[in-house]
Amino acid sequence: MTHRHTLRVRLTVLYAGLFLVAGAGLLAINYALLRHSLPANQVSVQTGEDVVLRARKLLGMQASYLSGKATAPSGTKTPTTQAQLPADQVANLKAIAGMPADKVAKMIRSGQLLHPVPKDLLTSLPLDANRTALRQLLDQSVVVLGLFAVVAAGLGWWVAGRALRPLAEITDTARRLSAQNLDQRIDLEGPDDELKALADTFDEMLGRLDRAFAGQRRFVANASHELRTPLTILRTEGEVALRRPDTSPDELRATIATMNEAVDRCDRLVTSLLALATAEHGIEITEQIDLADVARQAVSHAASEAAGSQIDVAIDAQAAPVHGDPGLLDRLTENLVENGIRHNRRGGWVRVTTSRVGANARLEVSNSGETITGDQVAQLFEPFRRLGRDRANGSTTTSAGRGVGLGLSIVASIVTAHGGQIRAEPLAAGGLDVAVDLPAG
C-alpha cells in the first residue's frame, strides 16, 4: 500500500472513529433523557379509550386465570389481574367494557366511574415496562449506529480521496521534475484553501529553482569561456614558439610576457571564483572590524594603479565598526575601490567614505566614468558582466576588460552573507555610486 493510501486509510479511520464517538455520546444522552422522562413508579391513565381497553384486557386475563392458563413467573409479585376478582368488580368491568370511550372519559373527569374496580384499571406503566422500552431503544440504536458507522467509513474514504487529490498532483509533479524540466508547474485549480496555497508555494519554489539552475548554467558557461580564453592564449603562444626554432630572445621574452598575462588572468579568475564560493557559503569567522581601517588599506593598495591612470582617489574614513569576516570584508572593500579605478576615465576621480548611519555601518564608493543607465546597473551584479565603451556606435555595452566580471557579484554575496544591503545608483555626470550598509558592531 502506498503512503498516499496509508494516509487515506488513516483519515477514513479517523472520520469513522469520530462518528462513532459522537454517535455513542448522542445515544448516551438520549438514553439518559428518556430514562429521566419515564415515570419511576406508575402513572394514572387519563383517556376513556384507555380505560375501556384495560377493562376488556382485565376481563380476558380473569377468564384465563379461571381456566388455569395464566401463571405468575417464579419469584415475582402476582399482579391483581392474575388473581380471582370479586364478583362486583367483574360486573363493573363488564359494564365499563361495553360503554363508549367518550362516556367513560366523562365519568373519569366527574369522578362517577363505577366502583369498585381493580387498581390496575386506572394505573399503568410498571417498572418492567420502563426497562423494556429502554432496552429496546438501546438495542435498536446500537444497530442503527453500526450501520451509519459503515456509511460514515465509506463517506470518509471518499472525502479523504478528494482531499488528498491535490497532494497526489503535487507528488506526481515532484516525481517528474529534474534539472532539465523545472519549467513544469502544478497550476492547481479550486478554492483558495491551504492545499492551493501549498501548490502555489511549490510552483513559486520551482520558479526560483528554475531561475537558479539557469543562472548556474550561465555561470558555468561563462566561467568555462573565461578560463578557455587565457588557456587558448597560452597554448597558441607556446605552440608558435616551439614551431619557430629561430625565434629571437626578444620574441621569446614577448611570448613569455603574453603567457604570464594569461596566467595572471587565470589566477585572478580562480581567486575570484573562490572568493565568490566562500561568500555564498556563509560566514565562519566573525571579528570586530572598523570599515574605516579596511577602506584606508584598500586605498593604499590601489594607489599605484590609480596613479598610473591619473585617477584622483580621496577618502573620508569615519569610524564604522562591524562584526564580520576580516578576509571577506577586505575583499569587499578592495573590489569596490578597484572597480571605481578600473571602470573610470583617465584623469577621473574616486571618493571612498565610511560612516555610521543609524544602526548600520556604511561604506560608500563613488567614481566618475562613462554614463550608465538604470537598467544596466542591475546587470553589473550578475557574474561575468562588464560595461565598456563600444567604439563603433558609442553605446555602453558588455565587453571584456582587465577584470573578470565578478567584482560586484562577490561584493553582493559578501553583503548578503553579513546580513547587509547594497545600493548602486548611476551618477548624472557619468560613473557610479555604490553604498553598502552592514549591521554595526
Of 146-155, 170-179, 202-211, the poorest mean pLDDT is in 170-179
More confident residue, 12 or 296: 296
Q: Which long-range contacts (CB under 8 A, 24 or more apart) does 28-32 make?
A: 30/137, 30/141, 31/134, 31/137, 31/138, 31/141
Under 8 Å CB-to-CB from 44, ≥6 apart: which residues? 122, 123
Same structural domain, 324 and 386 = yes
Taking the C-alpha atoms of residue 336 and residue 80, their distance in angstroms, rounded to an integer, is 115
pLDDT at 49: 79
Q: Evaluate if residue 50 carries a pLDDT over 80.
A: no
Under 8 Å CB-to-CB from 65, ≥6 apart: which residues? 81, 82, 83, 84
H or E segment at 288?
Answer: strand 287-290
pLDDT at 393: 40
More confident residue, 159 or 353: 353
Of 53-57, 83-87, 175-179, 318-322, the poorest mean pLDDT is in 175-179
Task: Determine, yes or no, domain membership for 245.
Answer: yes
Task: Determine, yes or no, domain membership for 134.
Answer: no
Q: Evaluate if residue 75 carries a pLDDT over 50.
A: no
Task: Determine, yes or no, domain membership for 148.
Answer: no
More confident residue, 425 or 134: 425
For the segment 173-179, the average pLDDT, to the nearest whole number, is: 70
Of 97-101, 114-118, 408-412, the poorest mean pLDDT is in 114-118
For the segment 262-280, the average pLDDT, to the nearest whole number, is: 70
Task: Determine, yes or no, domain membership for 11.
Answer: no
Taking the C-alpha atoms of residue 115 and residue 349, their distance in angstroms, rounded to an integer, is 131
Under 8 Å CB-to-CB from 252, ≥6 apart: which residues? 241
* Burial of 193 from C-beta contacts in 10 A (0-12 / 13-18 / 19+): exposed
Q: Which of 217, 241, 272 is the last residue of a domain?
A: 272
Tell whether the torsion through CA atoms of 67, 68, 73 and 79 is positive or negative: positive
Same structural domain, 244 and 322 = no
Same structural domain, 218 and 326 = no
Please tell me the pTM assigned to this model. Answer: 0.48
For the segment 145-157, the average pLDDT, to the nearest whole number, is: 82
Task: Determine, yes or no, domain membership for 242.
Answer: yes
pLDDT at 124: 57
| E-state strands within 210-284 | none
Q: Phi then psi for 393, rounded to 5 degrees?
A: -125, 0
Taking the C-alpha atoms of residue 427 and residue 54, their distance in angstroms, rounded to an integer, is 112
Same structural domain, 294 and 415 = yes
Q: Which of 225, 241, 272 is the last residue of a domain?
A: 272
What confidence category does residue 315 fall into, taking pLDDT thresholds of 50, 70 and 90?
very high
Q: Evaluate if residue 107 carries a pLDDT over 60.
A: yes
More confident residue, 127 or 184: 184
Same structural domain, 412 and 318 = yes
What confidence category does residue 349 fall into, taking pLDDT thresholds of 50, 70 and 90?
very high
Same structural domain, 366 and 407 = yes
pLDDT at 120: 67
CATH code where residue 293 lies: 3.30.565.10
224-249 pLDDT, tens per residue?
A: 766 776 788 778 877 777 777 777 78
**What is the percentage of the chain residues whose pLDDT exceeds 90?**
14
Total structural domains within the chain: 2
Task: Determine, yes or no, domain membership for 330.
Answer: yes
Task: Determine, yes or no, domain membership for 209.
Answer: yes
The dihedral region occupied by 347, where left means phi > 0, alpha psi between -120 and 50, and beta the remainder, is left
β-strand partners of 396: 389
Q: Evaluate if residue 264 carries a pLDDT over 80.
A: no
User: Measuring CA to CA, which residue among 418, 413, 398 is closest to residue 274?
Assistant: 413
Average pLDDT of the residues of the chain? 76
DSSP three-state, residue 366: strand
Report residue 295 as a C-alpha cell.
577602506
Same structural domain, 290 and 435 = yes
Q: Which of 223, 245, 272 is the last residue of a domain?
A: 272
Q: Evaluate if residue 277 carries a pLDDT over 80.
A: no
More confident residue, 189 or 43: 189
User: Measuring CA to CA, which residue among 57, 43, 48 is closest to residue 107?
Assistant: 48
Same structural domain, 246 and 294 = no
The residue segments making up the domain with residue 347 are 285-439
Taking the C-alpha atoms of residue 63 and residue 195, their distance in angstroms, rounded to an integer, is 76
CATH code where residue 241 lies: 1.10.287.130
Amino acid at 386: R
The rounded radius of gyration (Å) of the Cα atoms in the chain is: 50
Same structural domain, 243 and 318 = no
Taking the C-alpha atoms of residue 218 and residue 48, their distance in angstroms, rounded to an integer, is 101
Same structural domain, 264 and 296 = no
Task: Determine, yes or no, domain membership for 202.
Answer: yes
Taking the C-alpha atoms of residue 316 and residue 351, their distance in angstroms, rounded to an integer, is 8
19-47 pLDDT, tens per residue?
A: 888 888 888 887 777 776 665 555 555 57
Q: What is the distance, to the nearest Å, from the Cα of residue 439 to the centroid of all Cα atoms in its chain?
A: 30
391-400 pLDDT, tens per residue?
A: 344 434 333 4
Amino acid at 34: L
Same structural domain, 305 and 360 = yes
Q: Give the chain's length.
A: 441
β-strand partners of 435: 364, 423
pLDDT at 94: 84
Q: Evaluate if residue 362 carries a pLDDT over 90.
A: yes
Same structural domain, 385 and 291 = yes
